[in-house]
Structure 1
Amino acid sequence: METRLNSDSEMDLKDIFPIQFNYGFDDYRMLMRSILIKSLYDSQVKALSHYKGMHKSNYFNECWTMKFGFSEGVYGLILSEVKNSEAIFILYYFPSCSEYLLDNSSLFEAMVSSKEGYAEKIRNFSSYEELFNNFIIAKIYVKVESNGIFLSLKTKLKDRIYAKDGVCIDGKQIIKKGGIDKNFPSFKTSLAFVNFIHLAISGIYEPDFNSLKIYKKEGEAIHYSNSLKLNTKKDIFSSEICLNMLYGKSDKNYLFDESGFKILKNNSCMYKFLINLKKESKNLALSTQKDRANFFIITGFLGSGKTKFLQNFIEYETAQNRFTGVIQNEIGKIGLDGQLVDANYATIEIDEGCVCCSMAGQIKMAVAKLNEKKPDTILLETTGVANPFNLLSELNEIKDIVNLCSIVTVVDGANFLREYKKSKIVLEQVKAADVILLNKIDLITSGEKDKILQILTKNNRCAEIFETINSELNPNFLLYNQSQTSYIASLMIEGKIHATHLNEGIVSFKKDLREYIDKERFINYIKQLPENFLRIKGVISFENDKAQYVFQFVNSRFDITLFDREKRCDNFLVFIGRDVDEEFYFPQEFYKISYH
């Protein structure tokens, strides 16, 4: 199926621009204006791009503002110049005052957005210097030819600005010396407009499916001092991206401002993501279907807080009268977390193996079962030692029955600096993420947090990072971070990724416990376990105490909390460790206390 502005008949450039095109400033401005207005009356383009409408301002210099359903802010577009018969448009993004993206903007932009009248000024942003010179996220180059249109988008993965001397306001240190003033995800934010313009231009010319080319080069970040002296320095997080797309036919291969750019191979993660913009409209990367459940993968190393995240998510969705389905996976023979999450939800447990390696093929079956209950959202919680990259092919099998949203990685702030050096999987989970929760920030120092954030951004330059305590995050943040199975987040990853927990010698085994055990002797036993025991969790009961307790152990730290449930379950513990011998580490006296 070809994407058309009008599904009833084919169109060409004259349907949008009836007069002769002379490649001048007014011609290109009129062409873009026509595309924006025409799309307002096309239900297919609006539905697939979540295009909510536009406003044209004639004051001072014609500019356009647009809304898309993926974000709270407003997009701005203006024609900057035309040279050599090629038009250069500037794309803006003006965050909402209540939007999390505002935290990634510069201090100056945050101050501008907090002033009275900010929202009204946006509609005529070309008239206000503080808006016109800031909030820029991309340049869009357009070249009209006799039989086609060439479009190129140039942006940065992240637009970063550093304060060399720091920033103090009223004696309070707002930004430390050398700290980041701006860290805006320009590329990711640009995608909503890329999706829209693709749909709109596809209605004029059939896309050339072989014409998509992606280029990148090293980027630079701005460093400013208190004397307002500006310098630029190479910054690995600020890589520049150039997307070239041809609609129709052309004998030329344009690349605007090509100096220093290197073409990405067609098998790159980035290419695989963007090629979805060239396929049938039903498969567009940023489109969603209301009759499908939103699908998220929740990953994170052992004990990071995934189950707590599930609890918070389900409670929030239940309060909003939305129904959640959960797929849980353990490498052991029992799914403990299914018993710990107590809320109004449907669950399917995939046990006896790890879904990222030995359980291939079961995700589709689990989703099909949950879909019978018509959930609004489905969460796949992987085992703590799963490698999300090994799931990408599985996700391709379910893309037609759910809305693939994002991979959420929960990072254990209290143990990350120790574990990431021991396990490749810890970093693989970070690299695969679209959204990262840096959890347990209440258990680490500011210096440790800064070091962790540096490692996270070095290994994933696109994911949104949220700092959390007890994995608390409003699910609405996730719904605006959709990115098609993490292809964006893994842009800079090269090479094959096949690491699994088996490669690292991580195994799991279960111990059934008798009804009551001696609390003091049990705690002493746990304190003496060697370091290669990574995770222990289960349900236990103590002598002279009728209650049941949840036991959680992560990297030598443990806690015992009341298992608040009326119906009792069998007591057991699941042990997960690296190169552990089940019998060797269980002395006979422990068995006499607690094991049948």
Structure 2
Amino acid sequence: MKIVPIIILSGFLGSGKTTFLTRILKNCSNKGIKPAVIMNEVGDVNLDGHLVEEDIPMKEMLSGCICCTISGDLAMEMRRLIDEASPDLILIEATGVANPIEILDTVTEAALLTPIEIQEMITVVDAAHFLDLSRVRKGKTYRLMTDQIRCASILVLNKSDQVCTEELEEIRKIMTELNPFASIVTTAYCDMDEAVWLRMLSAKAEDGVIDRLNSVQQERHDDGVPDDYWHEHDHKHEHCNNHSGHHHSYDHVMVCSHYIQEPINGSQLKRVMKDLPDGVYRAKGIFTSKDTGERVMFQFAYRQYEQISIRPQGHVQDVAVFIGEHFSKHELLRKLEEIIWPT
């Protein structure tokens, strides 16, 4: 019986997970490894999937988190990928607001029904974002990011070019205190040496990952933090309305999707993105340029914005997706409408 290795990719919104995914897929191709991908989004649109090559088998799990509202689908999607594509490796990119402890629980349960083995738990960390939060050391986002770090077998300290050398050392020290067992790879744009990619694609780390999972759960208990703290329910997503008896660790997160019906001006959209409310910490989407007619993907994370021209396969609707906490959807949509239908 063929046992398929699993690499779980974790990291907060905007840390660079999809950049990492595209790079590791390229390395798989170079080494003759046949990968498959499961991409999870808490919203109802998967934009990052358009960055994955068309010939790579991929399953999308939308409108929920694989650790909660759609956890029962994970084993089925894995089984389908294995049966249809016979991959050498499955990469799971979890939504940035998912708790890795819950993801590991779900993947471990799926292993009871599907011949899989957890190979690595890789967490991508946005250097500047984590540094700011670590200096305050409170809030749900900080708690989530520390869990993502503590559960990893490999830590990718990304966007290192956006902090100075002293700050980088400060971050590495905090990460080592949180997880002294994981190796830390410092990168910009998730670019790393060939030897590191080789280790990620060949290591067997399941026992260490599970040990860290148990350790983090025990530390939570020892800290005297009540279990329901990790499942506080400040905001209920529409897709969770039928699961009122089950709360999870990202319920405070708001997701706003807006489908764009007309071509828009990229420079005007950039101005809107630069002026987003503080509560919006991730935005992404696809639009049609009014000036050139090109399809353009935009990304916004931790106050940084970029646009890239793309050629999506098949029919892809123009859309903007915003993720954050306690922001006004009405005000945000009003600003978008002003550039779509200017007065």
- Measured against the shorter chain, the TM-score band is 0.7 to 0.9
Rounded to whole Å, the distance in 2 between the matches of 1:562 and 1:549 is 4
Report the Cα offset of residue 504 of structure 1: 6.2
1:594 match: 340
Rounded to whole Å, the distance in 1 between the matches of 2:47 and 2:186 is 26
Report the Cα offset of residue 508 of structure 1: 0.9
Rounded to whole Å, the distance in 2 between the matches of 1:481 and 1:435 is 12
2:90 to 352, 372, 378: 378
Report the Cα offset of residue 581 of structure 1: 3.0
2:220 match: 495
Rounded to whole Å, the distance in 2 between the matches of 1:449 and 1:504 is 31
Rounded to whole Å, the distance in 2 between the matches of 1:555 and 1:541 is 24
Residue type of the alignment partner of 2:209: S
The CA deviation string for residues 502-542 of structure 1, in whole angstroms up to 9 with x for no partner, is 55621112111124112333222222211110000111222
| SS of alignment partner, residue 465 of structure 1 | strand
The alignment status of 1:315 with 2:26, answered yes or no, reads yes
1:57 match: none
The CA deviation string for residues 59-87 of structure 1, in whole angstroms up to 9 with x for no partner, is xxxxxxxxxxxxxxxxxxxxxxxxxxxxx
With over 3 angstroms needed to count, the CA separation of the structure-2 counterparts of 1:395 and 1:565, relative to structure 1, is: closer
The alignment status of 1:399 with 2:111, answered yes or no, reads yes
8 A Cα contact 2:99 2:249, kept in partner: no
Rounded to whole Å, the distance in 2 between the matches of 1:310 and 1:336 is 14
Rounded to whole Å, the distance in 2 between the matches of 1:445 and 1:520 is 30
Rounded to whole Å, the distance in 2 between the matches of 1:504 and 1:570 is 27
2:57 to 332, 341, 346: 346
Report the Cα offset of residue 484 of structure 1: 3.0
8 A Cα contact 2:160 2:168, kept in partner: yes
With over 3 angstroms needed to count, the CA separation of the structure-2 counterparts of 1:367 and 1:503, relative to structure 1, is: closer
8 A Cα contact 2:120 2:203, kept in partner: no
Rounded to whole Å, the distance in 2 between the matches of 1:392 and 1:560 is 33
Uncovered stretches (5+) of structure 1, i.e. residues with no partner: 1-288
Residue type of the alignment partner of 1:403: E
What is the TM-score with the length of structure 1 in the denominator?
A: 0.48
1:556 match: 303
Rounded to whole Å, the distance in 2 between the matches of 1:485 and 1:355 is 22
| SS of alignment partner, residue 505 of structure 1 | coil
| SS of alignment partner, residue 307 of structure 2 | strand
With over 3 angstroms needed to count, the CA separation of the structure-2 counterparts of 1:489 and 1:463, relative to structure 1, is: farther
| SS of alignment partner, residue 110 of structure 2 | coil
2:154 to 399, 410, 435: 435
Rounded to whole Å, the distance in 1 between the matches of 2:157 and 2:95 is 18
Rounded to whole Å, the distance in 1 between the matches of 2:54 and 2:259 is 26
| SS of alignment partner, residue 290 of structure 2 | coil
Uncovered stretches (5+) of structure 2, i.e. residues with no partner: 222-226, 232-247
Question: Which structure 2 residues correspond to residues 155-554 of structure 1 after superposition, within 5 A?
Answer: 291-342=2-53, 344-372=55-83, 373-399=85-111, 401-420=115-134, 421=137, 422=139, 423=141, 424-473=143-192, 474-478=196-200, 479-484=202-207, 486-490=209-213, 492-493=215-216, 494-496=219-221, 499=230, 505-554=252-301
8 A Cα contact 1:437 1:471, kept in partner: yes
8 A Cα contact 1:406 1:485, kept in partner: no
Rounded to whole Å, the distance in 1 between the matches of 2:185 and 2:53 is 25
| SS of alignment partner, residue 316 of structure 1 | helix
8 A Cα contact 1:324 1:378, kept in partner: yes
With over 3 angstroms needed to count, the CA separation of the structure-2 counterparts of 1:414 and 1:564, relative to structure 1, is: farther
Rounded to whole Å, the distance in 1 between the matches of 2:287 and 2:16 is 20
**Greater fraction of residues in helix:** 2
| SS of alignment partner, residue 328 of structure 2 | coil
State percent identity of aligned pairs: 27
Residue type of the alignment partner of 1:495: R
The CA deviation string for residues 553-578 of structure 1, in whole angstroms up to 9 with x for no partner, is 01211111121457562211110011
8 A Cα contact 2:117 2:206, kept in partner: no
Report the Cα offset of residue 321 of structure 1: 2.2
| SS of alignment partner, residue 476 of structure 1 | helix
Residue type of the alignment partner of 1:448: E
| SS of alignment partner, residue 335 of structure 1 | coil
8 A Cα contact 1:327 1:378, kept in partner: yes
| SS of alignment partner, residue 450 of structure 1 | helix
Rounded to whole Å, the distance in 2 between the matches of 1:365 and 1:396 is 14
Report the Cα offset of residue 435 of structure 1: 0.9
Question: Whose Rg is larger?
Answer: 1
| SS of alignment partner, residue 5 of structure 2 | strand
The alignment status of 1:571 with 2:283, answered yes or no, reads no
With over 3 angstroms needed to count, the CA separation of the structure-2 counterparts of 1:470 and 1:332, relative to structure 1, is: same
| SS of alignment partner, residue 486 of structure 1 | helix
With over 3 angstroms needed to count, the CA separation of the structure-2 counterparts of 1:343 and 1:582, relative to structure 1, is: same
| SS of alignment partner, residue 386 of structure 1 | coil
Moved more, 492-501 or 345-354: 492-501
**Greater fraction of residues in strand:** 1
Rounded to whole Å, the distance in 2 between the matches of 1:329 and 1:508 is 14
Rounded to whole Å, the distance in 1 between the matches of 2:252 and 2:121 is 25
What is the TM-score with the length of structure 2 in the denominator?
A: 0.82
With over 3 angstroms needed to count, the CA separation of the structure-2 counterparts of 1:363 and 1:413, relative to structure 1, is: same
With over 3 angstroms needed to count, the CA separation of the structure-2 counterparts of 1:502 and 1:585, relative to structure 1, is: farther
Rounded to whole Å, the distance in 2 between the matches of 1:297 and 1:361 is 17
With over 3 angstroms needed to count, the CA separation of the structure-2 counterparts of 1:302 and 1:503, relative to structure 1, is: closer
Q: Which runs of 4+ in 1 moved over 6 A?
A: none
